[in-house]
Structure 1
């Protein structure tokens, strides 16, 4: 592993991508510490010390919401816009047709997603400003409120731009890496708080050992979930083209158990936090009751959380994986699954297998997301947040980024071998 990272910085292109990604993450963390004008930061800190859903929201913002900084909204508006756009693509035939038109159609959908991000950012910024004003944390004139709204909306647009720039010119998925950076940035603070509680006697050693064992088990489960796959054996028939024979080899189709990655977790969390945020704007006993129902950790929240994780696992798998295209490509090149006829029977078989393993992966994904949260409440370690949602995102994004770096290394090394062979033996000059 150390040699691989050393080789990564020896390659100019890969080194530039890694440094560019780190630079964008630094800008994101810098913006998370720039407070919005007119906000009483001390009052915000006291409110977030109470924990609950605010701490959960702040986890995705990387501490930016606690300070109500320029990047207080984080990636939430972009995620909400992406969810709505993907749902509309499935429902509206015109958008589905637009998506299949190639690069130009996808560019238009990306443009619609960006405008949706601006809309959601504006709604959330206005709602949060009114809410903080009612709590007395934001005390300013109407002009100050407008400045706060414009600042946070601009910050959300900047976060979206940072994520897209990392995806286009860096390593890994930009939005996922921003969420990853926000979660990882809170780990040192959590470790310091846990050590302080241990020294003061408020946390016993047995509870800490249970938490450490739980962390190891959850991380191992997340790695198995991300790397697990079902391999379908494929045989390619021999073809004679001129005087040469092609095909005849055996290979496999790797069907990932968790094809959607961490997307179901992120989407489910964003959808469930939306009604809670809406009910915060109202007063009265009914509003408090609805807030308690949809608050993270409640029974209703956990049930809906599991249902949405399973739903988005199937939904996103259907978006990124098309069995019909796989079957048609196999038939085009003379490939077939043993015992299955090419064409439609093959696509139906692949879809059947994918449905089964997706169910297992989605259920395991939900279990890993909920068990640490339940155990954290049992062990009574509220300050040491190591919930399944955070672990799944961190492990999933880390593995995906490492795989992309490895792919870049393999590609560069392969080219380097070809160049050396060309210089020494001249075998590749034909």
Structure 2
């Protein structure tokens, strides 16, 4: 028991570790605050009805997604996609390296430069992956809410024509930026 307290005491005595811990706690606090900011254009009445119908049916789809996302999905938050698009892009790039001989040579010739190249292209691929994930999430929620009894309307009206163009692009850009 005594060693546990001395370990915690050391964490706060060391200025470098204390600074890193404080920065980490600040980042976590900012993330939790941003997790409650909904995407622009959300129909809050439809979202509340969808939440009520989903939790009233013994859990299910929305509760499972909330479990994985830390509660950001039920708020239709800007951060509801998390880091999934970035991780997917990273996996795709890592799978391409052994398949394409030029990439494999680049990684073997100069591993440090190859790693930089891989990180750069992971970022480039993560942006369209985030946009596609945002489109998918919006469409899944709209389909679920439209087909749920007593709701019948979209949580976030989405489309690329007419009056829906600007709200759709705004929501898409906001959710993509929330991922990055």
Taking structure 2 as the reference length, what is the TM-score of the superposition? 0.77
Secondary structure at the counterpart of residue 139 of structure 2:
helix
Deviation readout 1:113-151 (Å, 9 max, x if unpaired): 112211111101112223334432224733111111111
Structure having greater relative contact order (Cα 8 Å, sep ≥ 6): 2
Which of 72, 76, 89 aligns to 1:64? It is 72
Is the Cα–Cα contact under 8 Å of residues 51 and 62 in structure 2 kept in the other structure? Answer: no
**Which sections of structure 2, spanning at least 5 residues, go unmatched?**
147-153, 159-163
The answer as to 2:48 corresponding to 1:25 is no
Count of aligned positions: 157
Distance 1:60 1:148 in 2: 22
Counterpart in the other structure of 1:137: 155
Q: What is the CA–CA distance in structure 1 between the aligned matches of 2:13 and 2:54, rounded to whole Å?
A: 44
| Cα displacement (A) at 1:110 | 0.5
Give, in angstroms, the shift of residue 52 of structure 1.
Answer: 3.0
Which blocks of at least 5 consecutive residues in structure 1 are unaligned?
Answer: 158-430
Aligned CA RMSD, in angstroms, stands at 2.0
Bigger radius of gyration, 1 or 2?
Answer: 1
Q: Any residues of structure 2 matched to 1:94-243 within 5 Å, and which?
A: 94-100=102-108, 101-134=110-143, 135=146, 136-139=154-157, 141-157=164-180
How far 1:60 moved relative to its partner? 2.6
Q: What is the rounded CA distance, in whole Å, between the counterparts of 1:65 and 1:102 in structure 2?
A: 39
Superposed counterparts of 1:14-413, under 5 Å: 14-39=17-42, 40=44, 41-46=47-52, 48-49=54-55, 50=57, 51-100=59-108, 101-134=110-143, 135=146, 136-139=154-157, 141-157=164-180
CA distance in 1, matches of 2:61, 2:100: 34
**Cα pair distance change 1:83/1:53, threshold 3 Å:** farther
Match of 1:222 in 2: none
Conservation of the 8 A alpha-carbon contact between 1:32 and 1:64: yes
- The structure whose residues are more often strand, as a share, is 1
Tell me how far apart the structure 1 counterparts of residues 83 and 103 of structure 2 sit (CA, whole Å): 24
Which ranges of 4 or more aligned residues in structure 1 deviate by more than 4 Å? none
